[in-house]
Structure formats: structure tokens, C-alpha cells
């Protein structure tokens, strides 16, 4: 089986310079979702027909298993499939999908493909309450499919039909090639409709069979921002259902966004309005507070992330406590039982077991040992305006409040750095290092506000 994905449309109603099939759904382009489904079907070939923004679409999603065909000019769906025919196996079956119909499932498509044969054309149809705008499935008195009529070309009686064409079909390639060569463009749009092959199949004595999707939302397409937003909520609801079925506790299933993949262990709890981007893995017993954002993160079992924390490209050990209002940036690795409190930022640093920075600190480009205490207001001065330098804080060191560590610098094992120190040279282990101006008191009178 070969798959043809039609992805040439401009998407004028999106009002965007970005091609429609690259509009994001759950953090990924619409077309990426369709490609995932096509690959899940183990298709022999996947051919993508592009047009508007072809270079951008290919640059965003190119892969060795894809064959790209450009449709120019864009003269309708039938013309688009015609462009793909040279890439398809002539003795196989072609499954036609759409780059702006991202939620179609593998199981529904398998049923459709199983219905097709050398002497059959298989259509995916759906019965809807409001069919306006859709092509209607016209059947004879025996219930046999005779043709598809587009809404703009339908008469009053045909517009009363509630069975619609989803556009998705499967056909023998050799038959498809013949039918596409015979369709015309005598219609309201002046385009070559792929749907016109149905009447030709009937005329040739080829049986037209139908299948239906498991859920109505599978065939929902995207033409404007409103439809895109509605589809986003639909997809997020299905993701939330899957998480609940897997045993994850969601404080409100309607208030979670997964824009990538989220893997959860047992007894994971997620509060409201959390966003997960890229690949996120939550170990057993992890608790995520409200309004957190996690991107490309692996969180060890038993870790608690308090509300309003942002975790990016970070891995943690077990039983860490992070936040509230903490931020970890790319390259952060936390060992077991690390505590990062409110308004602590860590970037490109390794923090050892049991170390703590409980509030108002910046740790960047640093190697922090085990059992280290980092006080309030501590910063690693890692950037000299041109290059980044590393700070090393060895095991059991104590860094007092309001300390500046001017990298490159090393704090020895068990060292204590007094509050208010600006450290510009290495601090020896097991000693107190302090740099302060001498405290003095001067007699003086505070100025009084002048009165008029």
C-alpha cells in the first residue's frame, strides 16, 4: 500500500504567512500528525503533494521515507493525486489522505484499506447532522453509491443528504490512473475533483464500498483559526483521557496541554494549567503543581515541582523539590534530593545529591557537589562579556547569602564563604573565606524635607 498526502493548499482563511499544513497542533505541524499515522500503517511509499510554501513544508518535515511532488498550478484534488501517480506502485493500492485532517486514526484507515480490492473503490464517509459545505454521497434505491456531488454543485434534494464525503479514499493504482485521466473540470470551481472518480467507477462496473470513522472528530479538517483551536481542544481531551486511563491523576482533565509526548509512571499527579512540550518523562510518584511548564525533561520518581516553575532540557534524580517559581534551563542535571526554591535559576549545571538553593539564586555553568548549601542572593558570574566560564563548588561547601562567585573559580570541599563576599580567587577547603569592607559608623544628620 502507498499513501498520498495532499498538502498543497494555501490556507487563505488562516491569515498567515505560514503554509496551512505547518500550522501547529499540540506543538507539531498539522502535516506531522498525518505523517505519523501514515508511518503507523507501514506504507511502502509515502508521497506528499505540496504547492503553496512547498520549500518551507519540505524543509520542516523532510525525511528519507518521504517522496515529494509539487503541484503547480493547483487545479484541484484530482489534479493533485495525478501528480503523485509516477511515484506509486502500479500494481498496488493508493490511500489518499489530507495534510489538514490530522486526527485520522490508524484503526479507521486499516478498516478502509481492508475494504478495497482490485475491483473495489473504498470511500470513508460519515453521517452528520449539519452537512452544509460537504460533498454528499448519492446512493441508488438499493443503497449502492453512485456518485459524490459537491455542496456548491448539489441541487436542493441532494443537499438534504446527511451522508458526506470525508475525502479520504483507497483505490487500486491502475484504476485510479485511468479514472483521473478521464475526469473533467466542468463544475462551479473549474477544478478537477478527485470525487468525480466515483461516478466513473460505477460506470465501469467497479463496486464502491464505504467505511466510517470510529469518532466524528477523526475527519475534522482545518481551514481557519477557529477550527484549529477547536481541534486543539479535541486532541488535548483525547490525550487527557489516555493519561487518566493510564492511572495519572489530573486535577482538571480540561486544563492540561501536551505538545509532544508525556510518559508517566505510577501515581503521578498533575495540577491545573500545566504545559508539557517535547518529550517529558515523569517517574513514579511525581507531583506537578499548577501552572508549570516542562519541556524536554526527565523527572525522577518522588520529585515535587511546585507551582509556576519552568523546567527545560533538564533531568533530575529522585525526591527533588523544585519551586515555586523556579527555573531550570538547558543542560541542568540534578542528583537525588536536590532542593531549588522560589526564584532560583539553574543553567547548564550539575548539582549533587542533597544540595540546596532555597531562594533567590542563579547557578549557571557550575558543578555543584553533594550536600552544598547555596544562600539567598548567590550568583555565579559566569559570563565575561565574551566567554562563559565554570564555577566548581565541592562537597559540603556552604555559600552564604549575597555572594558573587566570579568564574572561573573553585570553592573547596567543606569551605564556608561568608555573606556578602565577592569571590575572585579559589577558596580553600574547610576554611572561612570572606571579603568585606570594614564596617564603620559615622555621626551624621539625615537631611530634612524642605517646606515652603
Angle in degrees, 0-180, between the axes of helices 54-61 and 30-40, rounded to the nearest 10? 50
Catalytic residue among 151, 350, 359, 389: 359
Instruction: Give catalytic status of residue 359 as yes or no.
Output: yes
All three cell numbers of 135, joined, read 460533498
CA separation (Å) from 366 to 295, 405, 409? 21, 10, 10
User: End-to-end CA distance of the chain, in Å?
Assistant: 92
All three cell numbers of 277, joined, read 512540550
Burial 345-384 (b: 16+ CB within 10 A, else e): bbbbbbbbbbbbbebbbbbbbbebbbbbbbbbbbbbbbee
Q: What residues have CB less than 8 Å from 44, skipping those under 6 apart?
A: 1, 2, 89, 92
Q: Which of 431, 421, 391 is nearest to 408 (CA)?
A: 391
CA separation (Å) from 422 to 33, 64, 364, 381, 402? 53, 54, 16, 10, 9
Catalytic residues: 359
Amino acid at each position: 500500500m502507498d499513501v498520498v498526502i495532499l498538502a498543497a493548499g494555501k490556507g487563505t482563511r488562516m491569515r498567515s504567512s505560514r503554509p496551512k499544513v505547518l500550522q501547529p497542533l499540540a506543538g507539531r505541524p498539522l502535516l506531522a500528525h498525518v505523517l505519523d499515522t501514515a508511518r503507523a500503517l507501514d506504507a511502502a511509499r509515502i508521497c506528499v503533494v505540496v504547492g503553496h510554501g512547498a520549500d518551507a513544508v519540505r524543509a520542516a518535515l523532510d525525511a528519507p521515507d518521504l517522496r515529494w511532488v509539487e503541484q503547480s498550478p493547483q487545479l484541484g484534488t484530482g489534479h493533485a493525486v495525478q501528480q503523485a501517480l509516477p511515484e506509486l506502485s502500479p500494481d498496488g493500492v493508493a490511500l489518499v489522505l489530507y495534510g489538514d485532517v490530522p486526527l485520522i486514526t490508524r484503526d479507521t484507515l486499516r478498516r478502509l484499506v481492508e475494504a478495497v480490492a482490485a475491483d473495489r473503490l473504498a470511500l470513508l464517509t460519515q453521517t452528520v447532522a449539519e452537512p452544509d459545505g460537504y460533498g454528499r454521497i448519492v446512493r441508488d434505491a438499493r443503497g449502492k453509491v453512485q456518485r459524490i456531488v459537491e455542496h456548491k454543485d448539489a441541487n436542493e434534494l441532494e443537499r438534504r443528504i446527511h451522508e458526506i464525503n470525508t475525502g479520504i479514499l483507497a483505490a487500486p493504482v491502475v484504476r485510479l490512473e485511468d479514472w483521473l485521466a478521464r475526469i473533467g473540470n466542468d463544475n462551479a470551481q473549474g477544478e478537477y475533483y478527485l470525487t468525480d472518480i466515483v461516478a466513473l467507477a460505477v460506470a465501469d462496473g467497479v463496486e464502491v464500498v464505504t467505511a466510517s470513522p470510529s469518532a466524528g472528530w477523526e475527519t475534522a479538517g482545518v481551514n481557519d483559526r477557529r477550527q484549529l483551536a477547536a481541534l486543539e481542544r479535541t486532541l488535548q481531551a483525547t490525550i487527557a483521557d489516555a493519561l487518566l486511563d493510564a492511572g495519572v491523576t489530573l486535577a482538571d482533565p480540561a486544563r492540561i496541554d501536551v505538545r509532544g509526548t508525556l510518559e508517566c509512571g505510577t501515581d503521578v499527579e498533575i495540577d491545573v494549567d500545566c504545559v508539557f512540550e517535547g518529550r517529558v518523562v515523569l517517574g513514579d510518584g511525581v507531583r506537578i503543581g499548577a501552572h508549570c511548564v516542562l519541556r524536554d525533561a526527565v523527572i525522577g520518581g518522588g520529585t515535587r515541582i511546585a507551582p509556576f516553575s519552568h523546567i527545560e532540557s533538564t533531568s533530575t534524580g529522585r525526591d527533588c523539590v523544585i519551586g515555586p517559581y523556579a527555573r531550570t534551563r538547558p543542560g541542568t542535571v540534578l542528583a537525588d534530593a536536590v532542593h531549588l526554591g522560589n526564584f532560583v535559576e539553574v543553567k547548564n549545571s550539575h548539582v549533587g545529591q542533597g544540595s540546596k538553593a532555597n531562594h533567590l539564586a542563579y547557578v549557571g555553568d557550575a558543578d555543584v557537589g553533594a550536600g552544598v548549601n547555596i544562600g539567598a542572593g548567590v550568583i555565579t558570574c559566569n559570563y565575561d562579556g565574551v566567554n562563559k566560564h565554570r564555577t566548581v563548588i565541592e562537597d559540603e561547601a556552604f555559600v552564604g547569602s549575597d555572594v558573587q562567585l566570579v568564574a572561573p573559580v573553585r570553592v573547596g570541599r567543606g569551605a564556608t564563604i561568608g555573606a556578602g563576599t565577592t569571590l575572585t580567587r579559589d577558596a580553600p577547603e574547610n576554611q572561612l573565606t570572606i571579603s568585606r569592607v570594614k564596617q564603620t559608623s559615622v555621626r551624621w544628620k539625615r537631611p530634612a524635607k524642605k517646606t515652603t
